Amino acid sequence: MVKLLDRINEPADLKELTPSELEQLASEIREEIITTVGANGGHLASNLGVVELTIALHRCFESPHDKIVWDVGHQTYAHKLLTGRRERFSTIRQHGGLSGFAEREESPHDAFGTGHASTSISAALGMAIARDLAGENHSVVAVIGDAALAGGMAFEALNQAGHLGTKLIVLLNDNGMAISPSVGALSKLFYRLRLDRRYHRAREDASHMAAKLPMGTKLRQVWKRVEKGVKGIIIPSMFWDELGFTYIGPIDGHDITELETVLFQVKKYYHRPTLVHVVTKKGKGHRPAETDAVGFHGVSPNQSKKESSPSYSEVFGKTVLRLAMENPKVIAITAAMPESTGLSIVADKFPKRIFDVGICEQHAVTFAAGLATQGFCPIVAIYSTFLQRAIDQVIHDVCLQNLPVIFAIDRGGIVGEDGKTHQGTFDLSYLSFIPNMVLASPKDENELQHLLYTAVRANRPFAIRYPKGPGLGVSLEEELHELPIGKGEVLRTGDDVAILAIGSTVAPCIEAAQRLADKGIGCTVINACFIKPLDSSLILDAAQRIKRVVTIEDNALKGGFGSAVLELLESSPIHELEIERIGLPDEFAEHGSLDTLRAKYDLDTEGIVKRVLCAFPQLASLVETKK
Ligand SMILES: Cc1ncc(C[n+]2csc(CCOP(=O)(O)OP(=O)(O)O)c2C)c(N)n1
């Protein structure tokens, strides 16, 4: 059967469709998303929730002339399908394929690149002001979720938008969920708006009436109801009025007619900042995702394939629980990611000692600093990529005051399919230059437990970064013990090359050393464990003795572990050193599977062997003489 979706090459093709065809199109889009996410993984529930909303937006606005800015950009699958990317949709999140987020390079319809939350209103306001300065008149729409709207940056942007008073549409996609249920006072306000019985009564009355009216009158009626009837009776909309925004809603985000009626009116008649409050259901149209929106927020390609060993996040969560049992001062903090950081296990046992602050990483860090001043031991679990936005708080509020805050930095290194906006490949650089900070990365999940135990006793800023995904499957020692801060360990000895590794790169180095040994090349392998402070005597001894040094890290080469080693060696009197650094070059690493990307950057066993042999060609003759 020919699909309607086959006929949509650009948003203009939507304009001719009848209401029943639009419904059919929505279900075809859902089908396409479910099938593709099943194969490639991705953000399922959020995308299913915005199908009608996306159709309505593209029927009402003339993208790319009008600008649509998607916050986070994880909910842009329907948008991609309607803006000329259907053919390539099956490649989404695969290496060389479409990105799972909005990306300017990918399409002129992606007005702004996103991946991190709460940026859309700032970017949209910048575009709106640029439009005003150019004397143009197009619309600019920021589409933002209720959880992302609670991020500090979104508030900063609302504040300026209300002040400037220019024409800007903020479309709030309110599904009551972040990845987990949304938290915070603002979320409660939206909840009250959604549940207001008067709103629902008004909706029902109006739809009875509307059913009896001819078409043109129905549209007018829907509009009147939304603007005058519903808006007028809901007091909390005053919050928005005070901010300088006209508030419209709540609107049913799955009723295309209602959405279009409102959006057309706003586009035509509203010349100031306007907030359109749209209520959607996360996971809409797919029963499993509707009932388990948390589980279906992000889906792996083969959900049935169970990972064999526990993930680093799971080990982290369990260890925090143990530490919290032993020490009443331990407090866990997450920025809207209790499940994926492994902390929900703490919430079950100690609901009062875990805080979900919402998508507010900066606040999470300074909140932890405040707790630390009062003798608590806060553990802040944040993905590496999201901690980037809280660097000033780490420097100014934690390290400058030498406060004992523990940073558990999940998804350090390459993260795979989420791509450029989510790679955790800068943290070793952005944390290693900060005075007072201890920075460590475990070689396996067992070392992660011991590092956490050490950090709780260290009484100073302490960052531990660990990778995405399953651990190595090593056994987890029952008894936790302190690791000496700033000490590495020699895992293997050999006289030809010294390989200095950190974190997830240690395991492939051990394998690579064995392969090289099979060729007659002896490698010393050192697990540095700490980047700051570095184990200078261990590293200098190895460099002095072996003279051929390889450093390896799944971090940017600039400013990372290898750079720290270079700085150390530069100040030493060792001569005739040869050094090879393996890590990420000065570019943003694209999306692709973990294995593909690790191979691309020579971070796997084959890559390490290859690089050692290329860097030190004289080893070939050494092999000959040893024979
Ligand atoms: C700064 C930042 N922190 C955390 C995340 C991880 N994250 C991705 S989507 C999401 C939830 C977003 O919720 P909401 O804005 O309500 O959109 P929805 O998914 O419900 O459509 C979170 C926490 C992120 N993308 N950016």
* 384 and 529, same domain (yes or no): no
Q: Which of 249, 271, 299 is the last residue in one of the domains?
A: 299
Residue 98, in any domain of the structure:
yes
Q: How far is the CA of 176 from the centre of ligand 1 (A)?
A: 12
Phi-psi region for residue 559, left (φ > 0), alpha (ψ -120 to 50) or beta? left
CATH number, residue 414? 3.40.50.970
* Average pLDDT of every residue of the chain: 92
Q: Residue 486 falls within a domain, yes or no?
A: no
401 falls within a domain: yes
44 and 157 part of one domain: yes
371 within 8 A of 408, measured Cβ to Cβ: no
- Judge whether residue 197 has pLDDT over 80: no
Enter the tokens of residue 436: 């007072």
Residues 579-589 pLDDT 10s: 999 999 999 99
pLDDT-derived band at 292 (thresholds 50, 70, 90) equals confident
Q: Is residue 206 pLDDT above 70, yes or no?
A: no
Euclidean distance between CA atoms 584 and 579, whole angstroms: 16
Ligand 1 center to 299 CA (angstroms): 14
Q: 383 and 281, same structural domain? A: no
Domain final residue pick, 445, 465, 485: 465
- Residue 17 or 196, more confident: 17
Q: Tell me, what's the pLDDT at 302?
A: 61
* Domain end marker among 299, 322, 354: 299
Q: Give the nearest ligand 1 atom to 148 CA.
A: 15
Q: Are residues 436 and 500 in the same domain?
A: no
Determine the pLDDT at residue 209.
46
Residues 36 and 185 in one domain: yes
Q: Indicate whether 278 and 323 sit together in one domain.
A: no
Tell me if 393 is assigned to some domain.
Answer: yes
Three-state DSSP string of 274-317: EEEEEECCCCCCCHHHHHCCCCCCEECCCCCCCCCCCEHHHHHH
- Both 432 and 455 in a single domain? yes
Q: Give the closest residue (by CA) to ligand 1 atom 25.
A: 116
Whether residue 441 sits in one domain with residue 502: no
Q: Are residues 24 and 173 in the same domain?
A: yes
Name the token pair of 585: 């070059």
pLDDT at position 595 over 60: yes
404 is written with which tokens?
Answer: 């004992």
**Among protein residues, the one whose CA lies closest to atom 4 of ligand 1:** 359
pLDDT band at residue 307, thresholds of 50, 70 and 90? low
CATH number at residue 508: 3.40.50.920
pLDDT of residue 573: 87
Tell me what the mean pLDDT of segment 131-158 comes to.
96
Q: What is the model's pLDDT at position 179?
A: 75
Kindly state whether residues 9 and 96 are assigned to the same domain.
Answer: yes
Q: Is residue 383 part of a domain?
A: yes
* Overall number of domains in the chain: 3
User: How many Cα atoms sit within 13 Å of 531 on the Cβ side?
Assistant: 34
Flag whether 343 is in a domain.
yes
The answer to the question of residue 82 being in a domain is: yes
In a shared domain, residues 360 and 284 = no
pLDDT tens figures, 14-37: 999 999 999 999 999 999 999 999
Pocket of ligand 1 (CB under 6 A): 46, 72, 74-75, 116-117, 145-148, 173, 175, 177-179, 282, 335-337, 359, 361, 386
Ligand 1 atom with least separation from CA of 147: 16
pLDDT exceeds 70 at position 132 = yes
Per-residue pLDDT, averaged over 561-582, amounts to: 94
How many Cα atoms sit within 13 Å of 559 on the Cβ side? Answer: 12
Cβ pair 440, 408 in contact under 8 A? no
Determine if the pTM surpasses 0.85.
Answer: yes
CA–CA gap between residue 312 and residue 162 (Å, rounded): 44
Task: Quote the domain boundaries for residue 321.
Answer: 312-465
430 is a domain residue: yes
